[in-house]
Structure 1
Amino acid sequence: MMRFALVNFKVSFHFFFFALLATHLSAVAQPKVNLSQLKAKFPNDEMAYLNRSEKVAIEVVNGELQIDVFHQEDRVFLDKRASVFADERIYFSEAFQEIKDLDAVSYIPEKSGYNRTPVTDIKTERPSPGGGIFFDDMQVKKFTFPGAKEGGIGTVSYTERVKSPYMLSGFVFGNYVPVINSEFSVSFPASVKVSYKTYGDMKGIVFAKTTQNGKTVYTWKAQNLKASPLETESLSLRHYVPQVFLFIESYTANGQTKEVLGDVQKLFNYYKSLVKDLNKQPSSQLKALTDSLTRGKSEVEKIRSVYYWVQDHVKYIAFEEGLGGFIPRQANDVCQKRYGDCKDMASLTSSMLNLAGIPSYLVWIGTRDIPYKYAENPSMSVDNHMIAAVKWQGKWQFLDATDDRIDFGLPTSHIQGKEALIMTSEDKYEIVPVPVVPANQNTKVDSMILSIDGKTLKGNGTLTFQGLWKTSLKSAVQYRSEPQRDEYYKNVLSRGSNKCALLKNVVTGLQDRDVPVRLQYAFSVPDYVQEAAGELFINPHLTRPWADKRMEESRKNDWKHEFTHIEDMVTILPVPKGYTVTNLPTNASFSHPDFGFKLSYEQKNDQIVVRSQWTLNSLLVKKSSFPEWNKMVAALNEAYSEVISLKKG
C-alpha cells in the first residue's frame, strides 16, 4: 500500500483520546472523578476517554512554516479489565513528525485519594514489519500506565512538530468508547491562509472563530459523544463519526506566496510534482522484456500480458522511508529488483504498457475503508493506494498488480465504488468512479446429480466460481498448505450433514487466468434419507446459504460485503425405480432491491429438479433494511425445512 498521510488525523484505536474535565488532569494534584456516576452512564464500557484536546499552532518562522500540535489526553478505567487499556502507543514518522515533551502520569486510586505515579519507562522502537513485507521509517513511543486498575486514570501530553504542510490533516470526534468533552483548534497568522472542511454529522459540534493577538483561531468543541459500535463486517469508524479537515492553502514569507493545498487541483499539483521525473529513460532491458511479451499481439492481449507478468514476477515488498512512501520508484529499478509496493507496480505496469504502445496512466485511489471523495477531502488522507489504468473499448480499466489473483477487466474488491484520480497527462487529471462489479459477474454455480442408496444420499457435482468470487476462493487457498487446502475444500463441499464424506475433488483453473475455477466432486451422506411407513423423505437443500445470517436488533452498523454476487444451485434427483413422488415443496421466493432468493421444484419425467438462487445486489446492507433481511432469512429457513417425499408402488 502507498503510505497514508495521517498527521493529527489518527485512526488507530489507541490514537483517539477524549475529555471529561474542564482542566487537564495533569495540572491538578488530585483529580475529581465520580466513578460510580461514570459507570452508571456507561454501563457497557470498560473505559472512557477523558480530556482530549489537540491545539494546532501555525507560525511563519525565519521564512518557513512551523506547525506544532499540542496533544492532551486523559482516560479513566471503568472496570477490572483496566490492564487491557493501559498500554499506550504513539506512532510517528521520522521524516514528517517529531514528538517532544512527552509526559504521562498514572493516577492510582487509593482509600485516601489518588497516588500520582509518573510514567518513566517510555520506549521508542520501530514497529515490526508486517509479515516481513512492509518496511518504513515509522517509529512508536510505547509505555504502560503503571498500576492501572478500576477507577484509575491515565494522562498523556506531548507536542508534535509537523514537518510538512502537506501532512496536516484533521481531527476525528469519535471512538469506539465514549467521548465526553473533545476540543480541536487551530491558530494562524494573517500571512497564512487556512481553510477547513467538515465530514459527517456535525450536529452537536460547536464552532467558534476568534481573534487573539493578531491571529485567527478556529475552535470546535463536542460533548457527550456516544461510543461508536465496534462490530464485525462493518465500515471503518471514519464512515460514521464527525470530522474536521484542515488545509493550509497558502502562506507568505519573505514577500513570496507559496500555494499548498485546499482543492483537488492543488492536491494534483503536489502529486504530479512527486512523479515528474518518473520513467523518462526506459532501459534496454525493460524495452526488450516488453517487446518479448507483446510483439504481434492485439491490444487486449498486450494489456493482459504486461499486467499478468507484473502480477506474477514482482513480489510485494514495501520500503517506505520519507517521501519514498509517496514517490513511485523507477520502472527500470522495479523490473531489475523484481519487488516493490503498489506504486512501484503501478510505475512498472504503466511504463511497460506505454512502451507497448498502449496509453497507460498512474492512478491515486483510496480503499473502501476511506469514505471521502476527492472534493470532500482534497488532502493526502483521501487515498492510500496507487494503481495503473488504461482505456479499453471506451471504458477505463483499473490494473492493480498487487493482487495476483485478479483477472483483467475486474477491479480489486477493496476499490469498488471509489473515486480514482487518473493522471491523464503532465497537467491534466480525471476523477473517475471505479464501478461496483455487478452481481451477475460474481457467480457461484453448483450443479449436482443425486442418487439414493438405502438411507445414504450420494452425489456428483461441479462447483464453478467466476468474477470476484473466484478471486476470493483463490485468496482463501493461496497460502495454505496441502493439508489445509484439503480441509478447506472439505468444508466448502460439505453437503447435507456433518456425516458428509468427500469422495472426490478435482480442482481446475486455480492457476489460470480468465477462466472459471471449478471443483468437480463426489460425496456421500449416511443416514440422510429418512424412511417411514414405506415412504422416503429427502430434504433437497444440501447447503443453506444465509440460514444463520439473521441480523440482531442490537446491531448498530450497516453490514459490509466484499462483493455483490449470485449463487445458483441446480439439484437433480432421479426418482428411484418403483417409486412415485407424493410431495414436492411449494416454490418460495423473496425480492428486495438489494437481496433476495428463489427456490423452485418440478418433476420432469423421472427426475426431480430443484433450482435455487440467492442474490446480493449491494456492497452494503443498510441497517434500515435489516427488518426486510430478517424476513427473508425467516422465509428461507421455512423453505429449507421442506422435504420431498417418495412412495413405493
Structure 2
Amino acid sequence: MYTGRNAYLLVEKKLFFFLWLFPSALFGQQLNELVSLYQHKFKESEAVIINSESEYEFDLVENKVTIKEDKSQKLLSLRYNTFINEVEFYDSNSDIEEFSCESSLNQKSVNSDRVCGNYTNSEYFFDDNKFCSHKLKLQEAGEIWKTHLSKVYNDSKYLTSVYFHDRYPIINKRIILKIPLDIEVDIREFNFEKFVVKKYVTPEGRFRIVEYSISNLSAMENVRLGRSIQFIYPHLLILVKSYQSEGEKVNILSSLNDLYGWYRSLTRQLSVQPEVFAPLVNSILKGKMTDDERIGTIFYWVQDNIRYIAFENGLAGFKPDEAHSVFQKKYGDCKGMANLTKEMLRYAGYDARLSWIGTKRIKYDYSIPSLAVDNHMICTVLLDGKKYFLDATEKYLPLGIVADRIQGRQILIEDGENYILEKIPEGSKENEMELRQVRLSMESGMLVGSYKYILQGEKKRNFLFGYHFSSGSTKDKLVKNCLIDENKNMRVNNIQLSDLNQRVGVFEINTELECMAAISSFNNELYIDIDISKDFKNWIVDENRESDIDFGEMIYKVLEVELELKDGDSVLFLPEQLKIEHEEFSVHAFYVKEPNRILYKKRIVIENGVISKDSFIQWNEAIRKLTQHYGSQIILKR
C-alpha cells in the first residue's frame, strides 16, 4: 500500500514513463494528471522540461579544436495562453546553425522565425554576447513544445563549462560528450555531492563517449544576495588540453604555462606610446618625493579620471586595450585601466606589471588551466621586495588596501616569458569595521545625544562612491539612510561629514540624534530601548533556498551606546548577554551597569561575507535569538 508522498511519486513516475515511451499516446486523464502534478510541484514555473539531451562533439579543423553542440528538449506547458521566450546565446567565437521549435498543437517556430540581436547585460557598456530567440505561445496546459538547437564553438577554449540546471525545472537531463581519441579533454566535475549524477564512459570507434544523466532538477534560482552559480549548481568544466597532429602532441591549454602563454601572446600585441600621457605624468608628479606618493598619485589619477566600463567583446574580453587609447578616451575596462596604470608607472620608472586574478565570484583557481579561472585584471608594482596591488576600478580605495572581492585570491603576475603566482593577502576584519558610537540621555520622554558613525576599508569606499555619484537630494537621503535607515521614530540634526576626498584613514559622520519612541513609562518604571540599529532583525532565511547568502563583502558591525542616568535612577533590569559563535558568523551583545551610566555593546561578524546553505538552520536560530534580544529592554525605577 502506497500513501502520501510515496503514492505521489509513484503516480508521477508511471505517468512520466508512459509519456517518455509514447508521447503521442498520452491523452485526456493521464495528461491532466501529469500536468496537475507538475503544477502543484512547480508552482512558479510556466513550463517544465520533461526531457533534455545535449551532445557535444569535438573535432579538429585546420589545427583548431571545434565543438558542435546539438540540444533537443521537450517542454511541457503548465499554463494557458502564456508566452515564453526560448533563448540561446552566442558570440564571435560561436555560431547558431539551426534553432527551431514545434508544438504538439501544430504550432511552429522554424529557424527563419527566430529573432536575433545583440545582448547587453546591465553590468556592461558593450559586449559581444548575441542571442537568438523564439517567442512560444503556451496555448494550453499539457501542450508539448519540442526545441532543437545546433551550435558550433569555433575555438574550444571558449566553451568552459556546461551546467545541468535550466531556468525551468527538468525531469530528465542527459549530457553527452563525443571526444576523438586524438584530442585530450579533461572533464572536471563540480558540486555533484548533493545530486545523483550517473556517469558512463564507453569507447565507440575513434571516439570516447562520456555521458552524464540526472533527474528531477529544480529551476535555477534568481534570488537576492545569491552566490555565483559556480558554487551552487552541478556542472562540468571542459578543459581541452591538447591534440595529436602527425604523431606530435600539440598543447592548447594543458597547464598554467599554456594559459599564461596565451595571455602573453595577447599582451605582446599591445603598442606603447608613452608620449601621449608623459606630460600629464610629469605634471602630477611634481613635488612628489617618496615612492608611495608617486605611485599613489598615478593610481589615484586613473581612479578619478578614467571611467570604468566593463567589456565583453571576443578577444577584447581577454586582451587589454592600449594604454594611450584608454588615456585619450577616458574610459576602459579593468584590463585597459590596468594597462594604463602599468604604462604610466613604467614611464615614471617603476616595475609595474599586468596581473590576472579571479574574484571571489570564481570557484576555481590556477591549478585549472582554463579561461574560466579569472575574470579581472589589475596592476602589480614590484619595489624593494614589496608588491603593490593596484586595482584602479575600485574608486576611492587607498594605496595599500585591496578590495574584499580579491583578498585571499591567487594572482598571476606577468614576468616576461615566465609568471609569478602569488596570493593576495587577506585584510584584517578590524579594518573593515562599521562602527556606531552613541551617547544618550533622557529628556522630555525622548533619548537625545550625539552619534558618530565611522567607516573604513571597503565600507568607506562604497559610501564615498555612492555619495559622489549621487545628486544633491539623493546625497542627503544616502547619509540619513546610513545613520537611521528609514526609521521614522528617529531624527538626526546638524550632520557633519569628514573629508569626502580623503582616501586614507577612517571616514566619520557626526550628528545629533533624537529617538522619539525609545522610552515607555508605567507605574514609575521606564522601559528603554537603546539599540538604534537592530541589524539583521527578523532576517530569517528560507531554508528551501538553494543558493548560499553572499553579502559580497565582510560584515563587521559594531554598536557602542552609553546611556546617562540621572540621580535617583535605579536599574531594575538589564537584558541578558547574548553570545553566539559559529564558524561562519558570530553575534555578541551585552549591557554593563556603571556609576551614573549603562553601557551597551553589540558586535555582529560574518567574516567571509557568506552564509552557506548548510548553515541556514543555525543562522535562523541565531536570528531568532537576536530578534528576541532586541525585544528586551532596560527597566529603570525613577
How does the TM-score come out when normalised to structure 1? 0.85
Partner residue in 2 for 1:71:
71
Local SS of the residue matching 2:587: strand
Q: 2:233 aligns with which of 233, 241, 252?
A: 241
Deviates more, 1:238-247 or 1:58-67: 58-67
Tell me what 1:10 maps to.
none
1:98 aligns with 2:95: yes
Aligned runs of 1:332-343 on 2, under 5 Å?
332-343=324-335
Q: Pick closer, same or farther for the CA change 1:496–1:170 going to 2, 3 Å.
A: closer
**Pair 44,441 (structure 1): closer, same or farther in 2 beyond 3 Å:** farther
Question: 2:106 aligns to what SS in structure 1?
Answer: strand
Partner Cα distance (2:273, 2:49) in 1:
54
Is 1:421 aligned to 2:415, yes or no?
Answer: no
Match for residue 337 of structure 2? 345
**In 1, distance between residues paired with 2:95 and 2:496?**
57
| Alpha-carbon offset, residue 479 of structure 1 | 3.3
Given the alignment of the two structures, is residue 37 of structure 1 paired with residue 34 of structure 2, yes or no? yes
Once the two structures are TM-superposed, the CA of residue 384 in structure 1 deviates from its matched residue by: 1.9
In the other structure, the counterpart of 2:176 is: 185
1:194 — aligned with what?
185
Q: What residue identity is the alignment partner of 1:371?
A: K
The answer to whether residue 381 in structure 2 is matched with residue 384 in structure 1 is no
Partner of residue 133, structure 2: 142
Distance, in Å, in 2 between the alignment partners of 1:81 and 1:555 is 29
Q: How does 1:303-452 map to 2 (within 5 A)?
A: 303-318=295-310, 320-375=312-367, 377-391=368-382, 396-423=387-414, 425-452=415-442
Question: Which letter maps to 1:506?
Answer: Q
CA distance in 2, matches of 1:293, 1:30: 78
Give the match for residue 524 of structure 2: 534
- Deviations, residues 79-103 of structure 1 (Å, cap 9, x unaligned): 45853xx11222211x211111222
Please state how far the C-alpha of 1:42 moved relative to its aligned partner: 6.8
Bigger shift: residues 292-301 or 306-315? 292-301
Q: How does 1:609-648 map to 2 (within 5 A)?
A: 609-648=599-638
CA offsets 1:283-303 (integer angstroms, 9 cap, x no match): 223334334344543222222
Contact 1:509 1:515 in 2 (8 A): no
Per-residue deviation, 1:595? 2.4
Cα–Cα, structure 1 residues 302 and 647, in superposed 2: closer, same or farther, change >3 Å?
same
After TM superposition, the structure 1 stretch with the greater mean CA deviation from structure 2, 303-312 or 145-154, is 145-154
C-alpha distance in 2 between matches for 1:588 and 1:225? 40
What is the Cα deviation at residue 603 of structure 1? 4.0
Whole-angstrom CA distance in 2 between matches of 1:481 and 1:387: 30
Superposed displacement of residue 122, structure 1 = 1.6
CA–CA distance in structure 1, aligned partners of residues 264 and 164 of structure 2: 32
SS in structure 2 at match of 1:372: coil
Cα deviation 1:485-512 (Å, max 9, x = unaligned): 3223323322895222222322223332
2:120–2:127 CA contact under 8 A, matched in 1: no
Identify unmatched segments of 5+ residues in structure 1: 1-19, 108-113
Counterpart of 1:59 in structure 2 is 59
Partner deviation per Cα, 1:367-423 (whole Å, 9 max, x = no partner): 333212222x42112222222223568565432211213233333233344332222
Choose which of 495, 504, 508 in structure 2 pairs with 1:514: 504
Q: Give the drift of 1:463.
A: 0.5
Q: Is the 8 A contact 2:395 2:461 kept in 1?
A: no
CA distance in 2: counterparts of 1:23 and 1:411, whole angstroms? 56
For the 8 Å contact 1:330–1:344, the answer to whether it is kept is yes
User: Do the aligned residues in 2 keep the contact of 1:438 with 1:564 (CA within 8 Å)?
Assistant: no
Deviation at 1:149, TM superposition (A): 3.9
Matched, 1:525 2:522: no
Structure 1 range deviating more: 492-501 or 167-176: 492-501
CA–CA distance in structure 2, aligned partners of residues 513 and 475 of structure 1: 11
Deviation (angstroms), 1:477: 3.6
Aligned partner (choices 559, 582, 587) of residue 592 of structure 1: 582
> Quick one: distance in 2 between partners of 1:97 and 1:22?
37
Q: Which amino acid aligns with 1:204?
A: V
Deviation at 1:346, TM superposition (A): 0.9
Query: What SS does the aligned partner of 1:261 have?
Result: coil
Structure 2 residue matching 1:219: 3-state secondary structure: strand
Task: Return the alpha-carbon distance in structure 1 between the equivalents of residues 19 and 618 of structure 2.
Answer: 48
1:217 offset after TM fit, Å?
A: 2.8
Query: What is the rounded CA distance, in whole Å, between the counterparts of 1:24 and 1:61 in structure 2?
Result: 37
**Structure 2 Cα separation of the partners of residues 433 and 43 of structure 1:** 49
Is the alpha carbon distance of 1:23 and 1:584 closer, same or farther for their aligned partners in structure 2, counting shifts above 3 Å?
closer
Greater CA drift, 613-622 or 62-71: 62-71
- Find 1:223's aligned residue among 215, 218, 240: 215
Aligned partners of 2:572 and 2:201: how far apart in 1? 79
Q: What is the aligned partner in structure 2 of residue 174 from structure 1?
A: 165
Q: Which residue identity lines up with residue 362 of structure 2 in the other structure?
A: I
Amino acid of the structure 1 residue aligned with 2:462 = S
Letter in 2 for 1:502: V
Aligned pairs for 1:3-42 within 5 A: 34=31, 36-37=33-34, 39-40=36-37
Q: C-alpha displacement at 1:226, in angstroms?
A: 4.5
CA distance 1:239–1:597, shift in 2 (3 Å): closer
Distance in 2 between residues matched to 1:102 and 1:485, nearest whole Å: 49
**Aligned-partner residue type, residue 483 of structure 1:** S
Change (3 A) 1:141 1:551: closer
C-alpha distance in structure 2 between counterparts of 1:190 and 1:401, whole Å: 46
Query: Structure 1 residues 262 and 207, CA, compared in 2 at 3 Å: closer, same or farther?
Result: farther
Equivalent pair of 2:19/2:26 in contact (CA under 8 Å): no
How far apart are 1:166 and its partner, in Å? Answer: 2.0
Q: How many residues align?
A: 615
- Distance in 2 separating the partners of 1:575 and 1:352: 59
- Read off the aligned partner of 2:89 and give its amino acid letter: Y
SS at match of 2:277: helix
Quote the Cα distance in structure 1 between the aligned partners of 2:635 and 2:485.
19
Residues in 2 aligned to 1:283 and 1:497: alpha-carbon distance in whole angstroms: 54
- Structure 2 CA distance for aligned equivalents of residues 357 and 30 of structure 1: 78
The 5 Å alignment of 1:429-578 reads: 429-494=419-484, 498-577=488-567
Quick one: structure 1 residues 29 and 584, their matched pair in 2 at CA, closer, same or farther if it must change by over 3 Å? closer
Seq. identity, %: 24
Change (3 A) 1:394 1:546: farther
SS in 2 for 1:352: helix
Task: Tell me the CA shift for residue 134 of structure 1.
Answer: 1.6
Confirm or deny: 8 A CA contact 1:496 1:541 kept in the other structure. Answer: no
The verdict on how the C-alpha distance between 1:206 and 1:117 changes in structure 2, with shifts beyond 3 A counting, is same
Task: Write out per-residue CA displacement over residues 525-552 of structure 1, whole angstroms, 9 at most, x where no aligned residue.
Answer: 3343222333333222222112222334
Per-residue CA deviation, residues 29-82 of structure 1 (Å, 9 max, x unaligned), is 778894533642673422322332222223334665443222223322224585
Q: Larger helix proportion, structure 1 or 2? A: 2
- 1:87 paired with 2:76, answer no
Q: 1 CA distance for matches of 2:401 and 2:261?
A: 29
Unaligned runs of 5+ in 2: 1-15
Residues 485 and 77 (structure 1), Cα distance of their counterparts in 2 relative to 1, 3 Å cut: farther
User: In 2, distance between residues paired with 1:23 and 1:265?
Assistant: 51
Alignment match, 1:151: 142
| Matched AA of 1:135 | F
Aligned-partner SS, 1:468: helix
Go from structure 1 to structure 2 and tell me whether the alpha carbon gap of 1:288 and 1:408 turns closer, same or farther (over 3 Å shift). same
Report the CA distance shift for 1:189/1:495 in structure 2 as closer, same or farther (over 3 A).
closer
Contact 1:496 1:525 in 2 (8 A): no
In structure 2, relative to structure 1, the CA distance for the partners of 1:462 and 1:104 (3 Å cut) is same
Change (3 A) 1:24 1:70: farther
Q: How big is the shift at 1:593?
A: 3.7
| TM-score where L is the length of structure 2 | 0.87
Q: Deviations over 1:546-605 (max 9, x none)?
A: 222233443444322222232222222222355444444444433334322333333443
- Cα distance change, pair 24–367 in 1 and its aligned pair in 2 (3 A): farther
